Amino acid sequence: MLDPVLSAVEKPPILEMRGISKSFGAVKALSDVSFTVKEGEIHALVGENGAGKSTLMKVLSGVHPHGAYEGSILFDGEERRFRDINDSEKLGIIIIHQELALIPLMSIAENIFLANAPSKFGVIDRDIRYVRTKELLAKVGLTEAPETLITNLGVGKQQLVEIAKALSKDVRLLILDEPTASLNETDSAALLELLKEFRRHGITSIMISHKLNEITEVADRITVLRDGKTVGTLDCHEGAVDEDEIVRRMVDRDLESRYPKRTPKIGDVIFEVENWSVHHPQHVHRKVVKNVSMKVRAGEVVGISGLMGAGRTEFAMSVFGKAWGRDISGTVKIHGKEVDTSNVHRAIKAGLAYVTEDRKQLGLILAEDIRKNISLAHLGGVSTGGVIDDIKEMKVAQEFRTRMRIRSHNVYQETGKLSGGNQQKVVLSKWLFTGPDILILDEPTRGIDVGAKYEIYSIINELADAGKAVIVISSEMPELIGTCDRIMVMHEGEFVGEVAGEEATQENIMRAIMRRKGN
């Protein structure tokens, strides 16, 4: 039996992946990758989008079964040949994907025990399920009743339900793919503390993340993949790991700054929202956005910060064609004139564009090619006499592919096969093709790597330099501080503070939120 006082780095490997190679047709996703995880550690797996992180974890969990790859997997010192995900789960290897696999209109208890419900004589024992669910929820810090519907939980709590579901399967190795991508700072911190608690109880974790500050906070070791190959492993117990060193290994180049420099050239006010109020679409008596006003100037990048549930996305979507909410009141002015944004078509015609935070569900048609996604919001721009001109559509897509540096075989490649960063560039291209004056970017770098983030930030700078008004909603305060000329702080549906970019720190942004929260 292992001495409980031994650190994670002194314990033997629970997992060894040796010489793993995996191809999809002519594309080599993994090439002779070796990866070792020690028992009881938090091991981070990092790399740019397309580096092979998720593919490696799908090999490990049996999504890509034995025979579909080259190499070997050893778990507890024995070679394993998983036929599917059920085989890996029997050994306690549980993967939680970035897109949560919960059923919204089922209860917490039903979701946790969907495939392994306790039963007597073939009938589900609801009493035992209730008691076990309460115990699991307590372990992850949730106080909700087991019968609570998933749809009534925020994203942070849904993530914890997924972890409780993993615990119900006697997890020994927990794989988390971008676990904090959809969480705000508070929920992210709570999840990281939970992983540390699991480590104290001997549970091993593999964490895939693009948030390097979180990685360096919790990881015992960090393995870097690049272009489907292992670059190396950094041991965090041998001294503090520098984020810049991780970036250099990931992208094989130095990024002089995580955020490209820009000299603002700010002009006149071109976008105004006055006395804007929005009610919840189902709970009609609940006001989500409360009489807010804001102005944005030409060439200005304005950030909106706030805790999850502050009303940031609801505000943005309601302004963009009243795409969310009901009983919406207030006025929108562009270039000093009141405009009609009562539906999405009219909002686009007025010069507005909104890049959603959920590119996979709301921003793109993943089964369609790049060409069709880019033209989707402005079909008139690629039509002649009301009929789409295939040649014109192809030329427009090719221009944006070049301009936005979209990495793909050609404009006919299926959008769902692109990396997250390149998908985001396609979404941006779609809205830029409408010729907007005002762009609202909701979580523009969610789930993409540092190299792709830098490119997105560069595009934001180019838009501002071209005289556009840019609004950036982000849960990552360093991102807002690094890219915005001004940051507005939102709390419970109201703007409660404003900070100039050069004066912005995480502390004074949080101070504005907490000061109002305490009132």
478: domain CATH number? 3.40.50.300
| 8 pLDDT higher than 60 | no
- The pLDDT value recorded for residue 50 is 75
Mark whether 453 and 322 lie in a shared domain: yes
Mark whether 1 and 88 lie in a shared domain: yes
Please give the DSSP secondary-structure letter assigned to residue 401. H
Q: Nearest CA to 426 among 418, 434, 435? A: 418
Phi, psi (5° rounding) for residue 48? Answer: -65, 160
The C-alpha angle with vertex 384 and arms to 381 and 390, in degrees rounded to 5, equals 75
Q: What would the pLDDT profile of 222-256 be if each residue is shown by its tens digit? A: 999 998 999 999 999 888 788 888 888 887 765 55
Domain membership flag for residue 356 = no
Domain membership flag for residue 208 = yes
Mark whether 280 and 367 lie in a shared domain: no
> Is residue 307 helix, strand or coil?
coil
No. of helices (H) and no. of strands (E), the chain:
16, 24
Point out which residues pair with 175 in neighbouring strands.
95, 206
Mark whether 126 and 4 lie in a shared domain: no
Structure-block tokens of residue 440: 């609202």
Q: Which residue has the higher pLDDT, 390 or 505?
A: 390
Cα–Cα distance measured from residue 382 to residue 368, given in angstroms and rounded to the nearest whole number: 17
Cα–Cα distance measured from residue 65 to residue 184, given in angstroms and rounded to the nearest whole number: 35
Q: Is 423 exposed, middle or buried (0-12, 13-18, 19+ CB in 10 A)?
A: buried
Cα–Cα distance measured from residue 242 to residue 234, given in angstroms and rounded to the nearest whole number: 10
Structure-block tokens of residue 80: 């394993």
Tally Cβ neighbours within 10 Å of residue 502. 8
Q: How many domains is the chain built from?
A: 4
The pTM assigned to this predicted structure is: 0.68
Mark whether 189 and 72 lie in a shared domain: yes
* Residue where a domain stops, chosen among 223, 254, 285: 254
Mark whether 227 and 373 lie in a shared domain: no
- The pLDDT value recorded for residue 512 is 76
State the residue range of the domain holding 403.
361-435
Q: What would the pLDDT profile of 95-141 be if each residue is shown by its tens digit? A: 988 777 899 999 999 999 987 888 888 888 899 999 999 999 998 88
| 308 pLDDT higher than 80 | no
CA dihedral 9, 197, 44, 66 (to 10 degrees): 90
- The pLDDT value recorded for residue 2 is 38
| 12 pLDDT higher than 80 | no
Mark whether 159 and 122 lie in a shared domain: yes
Mark whether 273 and 140 lie in a shared domain: no
Domain membership flag for residue 261 = yes
> Is residue 460 helix, strand or coil?
helix
* Residue where a domain stops, chosen among 113, 140, 171: 171
Q: What is the mean pLDDT of the chain?
A: 89
* Residue where a domain stops, chosen among 254, 286, 318: 254
Mark whether 375 and 484 lie in a shared domain: no
| 517 pLDDT higher than 60 | no
Mark whether 262 and 327 lie in a shared domain: yes
Per-residue pLDDT band for 10 (boundaries 50, 70, 90) equals low
Q: Contact at 8 Å (CB) between 180 and 211?
A: yes
Per-residue pLDDT band for 515 (boundaries 50, 70, 90) equals low
The sign of the dihedral angle between the CA atoms of 141, 144, 145, 151 is negative
Mark whether 241 and 346 lie in a shared domain: no
For the chain, percent of residues with pLDDT exceeding 70: 96
Q: Nearest CA to 446 among 467, 464, 468, 473? A: 473
Mark whether 430 and 441 lie in a shared domain: no
**Of the ranges 11-20, 43-52, 69-78, the best mean pLDDT one:** 69-78
Structure-block tokens of residue 257: 């700054």
> Is residue 479 helix, strand or coil?
helix
The whole-number average pLDDT for the span 6-34 is 83
**Residue in the structure block whose two tokens are 């009881």:** 40
